[in-house]
Amino acid sequence: MIQRRWFFPLLSAMGVATAKPRNPYTELGIRPVLNFQGPVTTVGASRMWPEIQSIMAEAAKDFAVLAEVKDAVGERLAKLCGTESALVTSGTAGAIALGTYACLTGADTAKVRRLPDLTGMKTEVLIQKPHRNGYDHAVRSAGVRIVEVDSRDAFVNALTPNVAMIYYLGGTRGDWAWETPVPLPECVALAKKAGIPVLVDAANLLPSWDNIPRVAATGVDMLAFSGGKHVRGPQSTGVLAGRKDLLDAAWLNSSPHSDSQGRGMKVNKEEMIGLLAALEKYSKLDFAALDREYERQANYVMAELPKAKLKVEKAPFERGRRVHRVIATWDESSRALSTAEVAKRLLDGEPRIATLPGPGGKGIELTFLMNEPGEERIVARRLREIFA
Ligand SMILES: *Cc1c(COP(=O)(O)O)cnc(C)c1O
């Protein structure tokens, strides 16, 4: 930013024609933020790779037959994921919704038109209690009833002919067996015997990329993840990958099919192309090197903040996924600064910095996931100023 300030006037003074890039946010009176929240939708979640931005701009210049784009993109996505088929969706939530509709309707277009009226269809989706989360609203958008179970016996008893699908929230210690009554391999085996498809929500398994083909290799029927988080594709995209018959049914239940429950989850051709390009890049990244860089940024902040008498600790990695988070706390009474006040000062300052409260609302938490080198210095400096 500082560079631009002297660089463009200098070029103009030299008689070089410069078109200073317009900032669409500042033109609206909005100041962009530095993101230390991680892939959080409310601040934009994804920092699209620069080359993806130009590929999407190129794709936007022409018309193309959407179904052809969907087929060609889907074929390459499926190869990356290790599945029969794949579809670009409106985020993971869109993928979960379409996957559920697909299990209910199959290829029957009369049923597609009938949803969310379940006449003539199964009416239940099975979810283990620790897998319940806000995003399973996408499952309920099909009109189904969620059957929640919290033991292996209850799970087995619930595998009735009325169950259309099992929703499984991914997130493991690497052995696919975190604290859950029925771990994934067993869930898949039991579901196969009962003839019920399993959909894994794999949105919280990135990084790293290998987790996606690993989930696919367990024999799940479908999996879903976000293109607009760490993958750094278009923010509103996601992927549904899995069995071809189910993916074909998911497509029937989505845009461009006008009379379908998923018509509102439209994905355009630029987003399909953009997500494919992002994923082709993402799947080849050196995740160990990325991890070292984020760790370096986190360690820098860990070393700087104690100079302002802040206490710092690293948050434990959640469910085996290496995301570096630093929690900074202070004695609120002696420093006369609340968590909310510090967060507000960071967000109101220059540059604006978005953070999250620490565990239990105490202190602030900084997530290092898509940050450019140097941003760690800015947040550390701002915090030292606030606590000076
Ligand atoms: C973020 C997230 C979602 C929703 O993803 P979108 O791409 O924003 O729709 C669903 N499930 C889990 C576990 C997530 O972390």
Q: Model confidence over 86-98: pLDDT tens digits?
A: 999 999 999 999 9
Cβ–ligand 1 contact at 171 (below 6 Å):
no
Ligand 1 and 135: CB distance under 6 A: yes
pLDDT value at position 1? Answer: 43
Tokens of 333: 């009474």
34: in domain? yes
For the cut 60, the answer to whether the pLDDT of residue 8 exceeds it is: no
Within-domain flag for 123 = yes
Distance 306 CA to ligand 1 centre (A): 34
369 exposure class (CB count in 10 Å sphere: 0-12, 13-18, 19+): buried
Ligand 1 binding pocket mutation candidate from 201, 225, 230 (most atoms within 8 A of CB): 201
pLDDT at position 179 is 81
Which atom of ligand 1 lies closest to the CA of 202? 13
Q: Write b or e for each residue in 237-262: b if 16 or more Cβ atoms lie within 10 A of its Cβ, otherwise e.
A: bbbbbbbeebbebbbbbbbeeeebbb
**Element holding 292 (H helix, E strand):** helix 287-304
Protein residue with its CA nearest to atom 11 in ligand 1:
203
Task: Please give the Cα distance from 95 to 8 (Å, whole number).
Answer: 44
Planar angle of CA 210, 213, 218, nearest 5 degrees: 120
Say which CATH number the domain at 370 has. Answer: 3.90.1150.180
Tell me which amino acid residue 268 is. N
156 lies in the same domain as 191 = yes
- Report pLDDT for 9: 47
Give residue 319's pLDDT: 67
What is residue 38's DSSP assignment?
Answer: -
CATH of the domain at 177: 3.40.640.10
Q: What is the CA radius of gyration of the chain?
A: 23
Query: Tokens 């701009």, residue?
Result: 57
Summarize pLDDT for 181-201 with one digit per residue, the tens: 999 999 999 999 999 999 999
Phi/psi of residue 322, each to 5°?
Answer: -85, 95
CA of 239 from ligand 1 middle (Å) equals 11
Query: 152: closest CA among 121, 132, 179?
Result: 179
Q: Please indicate whether residue 228, judged by its CB atom, sits closer than 6 Å to ligand 1.
A: yes
Q: Which of 282, 314, 342 is the last residue of a domain?
A: 282
Distance CA 85, CA 77 (A): 8
pLDDT of residue 20: 76
Mean pLDDT rounded to a whole number for the chain:
93
pLDDT tens per residue across span 263-297: 999 999 999 999 999 999 999 999 999 999 999 99
Q: Is the CB–ligand 1 distance for residue 93 below 6 Å?
A: yes
Going from the Cα of 5 to the center of ligand 1, the distance in angstroms, rounded, reads 38
- Report which ligand 1 atom has the smallest distance to the Cα of 96: 10
Are 353 and 222 in a shared domain?
Answer: no
pLDDT of 316 > 60? The answer is yes
pLDDT above 90 covers a percentage of the chain that reads: 88
Determine if ligand 1 sits within 6 Å of the CB of residue 201: yes
pLDDT at 17 over 90: no
In a domain, 11, yes or no: no
DSSP secondary structure, 5-16, as one string: HHHHHHHHHTT-
The closest residue, in CA terms, to atom 5 on ligand 1 is 92
Nearest to 56 by CA among 193, 201, 228: 228
- For the ranges 160-164, 173-177, 182-186, 235-239, the lowest mean pLDDT is seen at 173-177
Whether residue 11 has pLDDT greater than 60: no
Eight-state DSSP code of residue 39: S
Full domain range(s) for residue 143: 63-282
Q: Is 227 in the pocket of ligand 1 (CB under 6 A)?
A: no
Kindly report the CA angle at 78 between 77 and 83, in degrees rounded to 5? Answer: 150
Is the confidence at residue 14, as pLDDT, over 90?
Answer: no
Say what the pTM is.
0.92
Report whether pLDDT(252) > 90.
Answer: yes
Q: Count of domains in the chain?
A: 2
Question: Is the backbone of residue 30 left (phi > 0), alpha (psi -120 to 50) or beta?
Answer: beta
Side chain identity, residue 361:
G
Q: Are 166 and 125 in contact (CB under 8 A)?
A: yes
Query: What's the whole-number mean pLDDT along residues 244-257?
Result: 98
Amino acid found at 330: W
Predicted pLDDT of residue 178: 67
Q: Which of 92, 222, 223, 279 to mutate to test the pocket of ligand 1 (most atoms within 8 A of CB)?
A: 92
- Residue 326: strand pairing partners: 314, 366
DSSP single-letter state for residue 366: E
Highest mean pLDDT among 12-26, 228-242, 319-333: 228-242
**For residue 310, what is the DSSP state?**
-
Residues 48-76 pLDDT 10s: 999 999 999 999 999 999 999 999 999 99
For residue 211, give the nearest of 287, 151, 268 by alpha carbon. 287
Element (H, E) at 50: helix 50-59
Helix (H, G, I), strand (E, B) or coil at 125: strand
Which residue matches tokens 């994934």?
184
Residues 212 and 88 in one domain: yes
Evaluate whether residue 332 is within a structural domain. Answer: yes
- Residue to probe by mutation, ligand 1, list 135, 136, 225, 318, most atoms within 8 Å of CB: 135
Predicted confidence (pLDDT) per residue in 120-163, tens digit: 999 999 999 989 999 999 999 999 999 999 999 999 999 999 99
Q: Which of 158, 139, 145, 143 is nearest to 100 (CA)?
A: 139
| Domain limit, last residue, from 230, 252, 282 | 282
Q: Are 298 and 314 in contact (CB under 8 A)?
A: yes
pLDDT at 3 over 60: no
Q: Domain boundary residue among 263, 282, 301? A: 282
